[in-house]
A = this chain, B = another copy of it.
């Protein structure tokens, strides 16, 4: 199960890169081409945020070391995911500002921003309770199942955010006539979406769905 999670995670990463670099305009935060700025968003939200957060969830099973190290890797990967997620989010705000598009109006943006805020809270909560051990051993043991369940729900929400994001972009491209049904690029977007979905499912399977 863990191998399938890694596999689909990497497949999604490769497909997303092919899409953004070959079929779209490339990835650049400080670009005059607003579309290159936009592309930082899907790139970092998946490979920075979702993929690293998923791998962080698997760290207790994949890191061949003592529990303290596993925990440290789990926390650090989540922190990197959080930071890259913030850069990915600011890229899309920058794009909307440049194009004078209103912020946070779509279902994708609502799911995404809700997920990201809750993820931030979950990280701070984990840091205080489990790393800094502000709570007693008994409390920590009581709270741990909730930390896990909440983390899994957040991964589920993050995958929903990714799928709606791909759907929003491809619908806009389709209605602008820039993407035709059953074209190679259209299928590539769909396979990327399926790979991200399967990554989410197999990470959830691996940590005990």
Binding site for B on A (CB under 8 A): 101-102, 105-108, 110-111, 114, 149, 152-153, 156-157, 159-160, 163-164, 166-168, 170-172, 174-176, 181-182, 186, 189-190, 193-194, 197, 200-201, 204-205, 209
From B106, B114, B200, contact of A167 by CB (8 A): B106
Let me know if A197 and B111 touch, CB within 8 A. yes
Known A-B contacts A163-B163, A171-B168; A193 and B156 likewise in contact (beta carbons under 8 Å) = no
Let me know if A194 and B111 touch, CB within 8 A. yes
Find chain B residues with CB under 8 A from A102 CB: 181-182
Let me know if B160 and A163 touch, CB within 8 A. yes
Closest 4 CB pairs of A and B: A105-B181, A171-B171, A175-B175, A102-B181
Find chain B residues with CB under 8 A from A171 CB: 106, 167-168, 171-172, 175
A204 to B159, CA, bound (A): 15
Let me know if B205 and A167 touch, CB within 8 A. no
What's the minimum C-beta distance from A2 to chain B, rounded to whole angstroms? 15
Let me know if A163 and B111 touch, CB within 8 A. yes
Interface secondary structure of A, over-half rule: helix
A131 to B186, CA, bound (A): 41
Let me know if A197 and B167 touch, CB within 8 A. no
A174 to B166, CA, bound (A): 16
Which single residue of chain B is at the shortest CB-CB distance from A200?
B156
Let me know if B160 and A204 touch, CB within 8 A. no
What's the minimum C-beta distance from A203 to chain B, rounded to whole angstroms? 11
Which single residue of chain B is at the shortest CB-CB distance from A191?
B110
